[in-house]
Amino acid sequence: MRHFYRWFTAIILFTTTLTLFGGTSLAADDDNVFRVGMEAGYPPFNWTQQDDSNGAVPIEGSKEFAGGYDVEMAKKIAEGLGKELVIVKTSWDGLPPALTSGKIDAIIAGMSPTEERRKAIDFTEAYHDASLVIMVKKGSPYEHATSLKDFAGAKLTAQMGTLHYDAIDQIEGVQKELAMGDFPEMRVALDSGIIDGYVSESVEGKTAKKVNPNFVAVEFTKENGFQQSEADSTAAIGLRKGSELREDINKILADIPVSERESIMNKAIDQQPDTSNDLSWFGWVMKIAKENWPMFLRGAGMTLFISILGTIIGTAIGMGIGIFRAIPTPKKAGKNFFYKLLNGLFSIYIEIFRGTPMIVQSMVIYYGLAQAFGINMNRTLAAVLIVSINTGAYMTEIVRGGIFSVDKGQFEAAQAIGMTHFQTMRHVVIPQVIRNILPATGNEFVINIKDTSVLNVIAVSELFFSAKTVAGANFRFFETFFIICVIYFVMTFLVTQILRYIERRMDQPKKYYAPYANQMQVQKIEQE
């Protein structure tokens, strides 16, 4: 068991050092860098690709590249500012908090400068003009619609947090469906018949028709269409309130003629990922796996990395707090005060992290700490921290249960031969607790492998985030997520088998334990 303690301590020190070192080395600001946030999944404005063809720019923290109209505009602005361009891939919901928390310098993602958004961030002059359309399928009752009134009774949706979704309210009698996360998701919903249409803009409509010839963009005259303000029909660059970059960027934009912008957009439409291949379902699965296996492999590696570190550090947290809470209540007033104070703080920590979703904790820790305290944390460090403290809250109670499962007589026997509480815990109780909690710890590990998927909200390149990227580029959600479903299952199955092997090794000699039917290790009652 001494070897176990040494190895366990070494692993904790190594993982903690590695995590902190990785975080501090990447969190520094650089004034010579222009960090631009975008979805990299909204063709033709921006998309993700596997190489640097057509002038694509590397995405920070990954092996992929970003291309599209927004990227070309970002390159021109970075050149005008005399800075190096860095593309930061972030989900649409994460763009505003990423900007206000200082993780990016600008949002260039086809974002309209609405009045609601202007309350939180500033915008430059428009760099793109567009009008709203409704995308429907060929042959649907709405294909030949000419007025918003023709969509009475139709099931429509739009992207979450956009003016497109608010514009649906202008249609009387429409069935407004829940907003969706991104355009690829809406295209799949429309193709599968879940919705009758979605509100988009003219350029995205051209892209959708190119991807799926069965789509039709219904356009309207000014009198019969959506009533939009000038701000609603344009896209501008989002900046932090009072940013010094605003004036310089406006000058750069003013030097780019409208004809050149249209040329860039038309080029982006031609260069966007081609998904028009007529393949069977199995053919698509093989094509996606063949073309994107490096991304899936890196995503799976990141998922395992975060899960392993999070489980190890979380177990250490749980072990420390669990052992502390098993200490007999001190009788001296001073010690008793600090014991109760720490116990109270630990209780608050456990209740908060067990009582809130990990996805909310991710947003609060990654973006909230940056906004409130200026703590600019590396994404991977934040991911490991979030999983670790979340796991620690659960492991604390698991360890406490493991300690209580040890027979009280063992404590009394140890005390009778003169052992202190620390000696009793170290030499008698903890070795049994480690074995007792091993199945529950394994469950936490498996849960962590799956729960890392929620970290996509802070743009960590784990497996689910990688799959969203691929699905966003090829619009094949079913085939793409079927592949990662298999990968998740393989990872969790292997982990389960490895943990069961470790349990069997620790259970020797077998006559003392019944590992699966009796995980608390109560000795079997001999049958007469």
Rounded Cα distance between 155 and 208, Å, is 19
The answer, yes or no, to whether residue 19 has pLDDT greater than 60, is no
Residue 513 has pLDDT above 70, yes or no: no
Burial of 139 (0-12, 13-18, 19+ CB in 10 A): exposed
Q: Domain check: are 447 and 313 in the same one? A: yes
Whether pLDDT at 520 is above 70: no
Closest listed residue to residue 134, CA positions, set 186, 80, 185, 182 = 186
Q: Is residue 49 part of a domain?
A: yes
- Structure pTM? 0.70
pLDDT band of 311, cuts 50, 70, 90: very high
Residue 528: is its pLDDT beyond 60?
Answer: no
How much of the chain exceeds pLDDT 70, in percent?
Answer: 89
Residues 105 and 163 placed together within one structural domain of the fold: no
Q: What is the pLDDT of residues 199-235, one digit of tens each?
A: 998 888 887 887 778 899 999 888 888 887 776 778 8
**Are residues 299 and 259 located together in one domain of the fold?**
no
What gap in Å lies between CA 418 and CA 23, rounded to an integer?
Answer: 46
pLDDT at 446 over 90: yes
Residue 465 has pLDDT above 90, yes or no: no
- How does DSSP assign 439-493, residue by residue? HHHHHHHHHHHHHGGGGGGGT--SHHHHHHHHHHHH--HHHHHHHHHHHHHHHHH
CATH number for 444: 1.10.3720.10
pLDDT at 508: 61
**What is the biggest distance separating any 2 CA atoms in the chain, rounded to whole angstroms?**
95
Answer yes or no: do 263 and 297 share one domain: no
Q: Is the pLDDT of residue 251 over 50?
A: yes
pLDDT for 449 equals: 95
Query: What average pLDDT does this structure show over 356-376?
Result: 87
Q: Is the pLDDT of residue 431 over 60?
A: yes
Average pLDDT over residues 140-159: 92
Output the pLDDT for position 16. Answer: 54
| Average confidence (pLDDT) over 152-159 | 92
Determine the residue type at 273: P
Residues 6+ apart with CB under 8 A from 65: 48, 49, 50, 51, 52, 56, 57, 58, 59
How many domains does the chain fold into?
3
Give the C-alpha separation, 75 to 261, whole Å.
13
Residues 379 and 262 in one domain: no
Instruction: Please state which of the ranges 64-68, 120-124, 125-129, 181-185 shows the lowest mean pLDDT.
Output: 181-185
Do 326 and 438 have their domain in common? yes
pLDDT band at 490 (very low <50, low <70, confident <90, very high): very high
What was the pLDDT predicted at 525? Answer: 46
* Least confident interval from 29-38, 276-285, 424-433, 513-522: 513-522
Structure confidence at residue 436 as a pLDDT band (50, 70, 90): confident
Mean pLDDT within 455-479: 83
**CATH code (residue 81):** 3.40.190.10
Q: What is the DSSP string of 322-333?
A: HHHHTSPPP-SH
314 shares its domain with 173:
no
Q: Are residues 380 and 475 in the same domain?
A: yes
- Domain holding 239, by residue range, is 33-128+234-274
Question: Do 341 and 395 reside in the same domain of the chain?
Answer: yes
In a domain, 516, yes or no: no
- DSSP track, 334-362: HHHHHHHHHHHHHHHHHHHHHHS-HHHHH
Say which residue the tokens 């366990």 belong to.
Answer: 8
Tell me what pLDDT residue 24 has. Answer: 42
So what's the pLDDT on residue 147?
92
The pLDDT tens digits for 254-274 are 999 989 998 999 898 888 776
Q: What is the pLDDT of residue 516?
A: 45
Task: Classify residue 202: in a domain, yes or no.
Answer: yes
Q: How confident is the model at residue 4 (pLDDT cuts 50, 70, 90)?
A: low
Give the pLDDT of residue 92.
82
pLDDT band of 521, cuts 50, 70, 90:
very low
